[in-house]
Amino acid sequence: MRKKSGFTMVEQAIALVPEFATVVRKLDQQVTLRGQSKSTLNNYIRRIALCVVHFGRLPEQIDPDEINEYLVGLALDPKSPSRSSFKHMVYGLRYYYRLMGMNKNAIALPSLKKETKLPVILNQQELKALFAAPTLLKQRVVLTLIYSAGLRGQEVINLKISDIDFERKTIHIRQSKYKKDRIVPLADSMAVGLKKYLAAENPHIWLFNGKEADGRYSVKGLSWVMRENLKKTSITKQVNLHSLRHSYATHLLEQGVNIVTLKELLGHAEITTTMIYLHIAQCDLVKAHSPLDRLYNYNGDARKA
């Protein structure tokens, strides 16, 4: 169903089913209490709103067979070859049913096999081409910063000027995913670029000011910057803003950073999340050997251990 001019899908759902406003508030509260990201909340709400607009009812008022028929239609939609609409709708409805205490309905939804696609990364030449593409200093600095520190989009827009410590060469990332703080190194060349940017743009409070209500830049705006500058290069890989973080992680592994240190730099909760980069990194292979040889630096001569 098309959006009415000037109305979002959520607004349409509330206009059609006023009770949906209460659902939105409950979802907002739960996401806040669980420390989940607002982007997760917004995605769930949009999907549930689509369902509400389609049926003209709240999900708990819809017969399970009707829900299944609706999901089949999404799964077979030729406009969504990756079945992303179907998957996100299942995730949204499952979250909704659990929130409403309807666990049986959540369990009855189709199970989704976890895809094992490896992240796509940019090589060094491609990164140089991308960072040279922007004509605006702000765009060049923000894209380079994401790669240089392995930042998530939300982390970039949350950075304050005070989070950059030029003397200690660190970046303080506050209350990111999983409500964790972390500190990552500030590259020397990045420090030069940031100082130039700060002098030219003179941002206020936030490192990157934008058109959001609180004066920040938006993740949507960052993604637009990435897309528009990719068009100026000869890069043909299917990459997005998050690919810069993937590239950061892979390149650090290739440059000898151990997986545990990388986990902390990325702010991952579990080492298993970080280990996916082991499948991409082109690390030098070390021939199988006994550590005893290294202990005495044995090189095959007749010296005794």
The predicted pLDDT at position 73 comes to: 84
d(Cα 113, Cα 66) in Å, to the nearest integer?
A: 23
The predicted pLDDT at position 1 comes to: 39
* Entry pTM: 0.66
Max CA separation in the chain (angstroms): 87
The predicted pLDDT at position 115 comes to: 60
Q: Which of the residues are catalytic?
A: 152, 177, 242, 245, 268, 277
- For 103-172, the DSSP string reads HHHHHHSPP-PPP-PPPP---HHHHHHHHHS-SSHHHHHHHHHHHHHT--HHHHHH-BGGGEETTTTEEE
d(Cα 71, Cα 56) in Å, to the nearest integer?
A: 16
Token pair recorded at residue 227: 């897309």
Q: How far is CA 35 from CA 29, 66, 129, 220, in A?
A: 10, 33, 37, 21
Q: Enumerate domains of the chain plus CATH numbers.
A: 9-108 (no CATH), 124-279 (1.10.443.10)
Token pair recorded at residue 253: 């592994």
- Pairing type for strands 164-165 and 182-185 reads unpaired
Task: Tell me the residue length of the chain.
Answer: 305
d(Cα 35, Cα 14) in Å, to the nearest integer?
A: 25
With H, G, I as helix, E, B as strand and everything else as coil, classify residue 185: strand
The predicted pLDDT at position 282 comes to: 84
Please give the chain's pLDDT, 305 residues, in tens: 344 445 788 999 999 999 999 988 888 887 777 766 677 778 888 899 999 999 999 999 998 889 888 888 888 777 765 567 788 888 889 888 888 888 888 888 877 766 668 899 999 999 999 999 999 999 999 999 999 999 999 999 999 999 999 999 999 999 877 678 999 999 999 999 999 999 999 999 999 999 888 889 999 999 999 999 999 999 999 999 999 999 999 999 999 899 999 999 999 988 888 998 988 888 776 666 667 677 776 665 444 44
d(Cα 262, Cα 274) in Å, to the nearest integer?
A: 7
d(Cα 271, Cα 257) in Å, to the nearest integer?
A: 14
Q: Left, alpha or beta for 187 (phi > 0: left; psi -120 to 50: alpha)?
A: beta
Q: How far is CA 233 from CA 123, 133, 147, 247, in A?
A: 13, 7, 17, 17
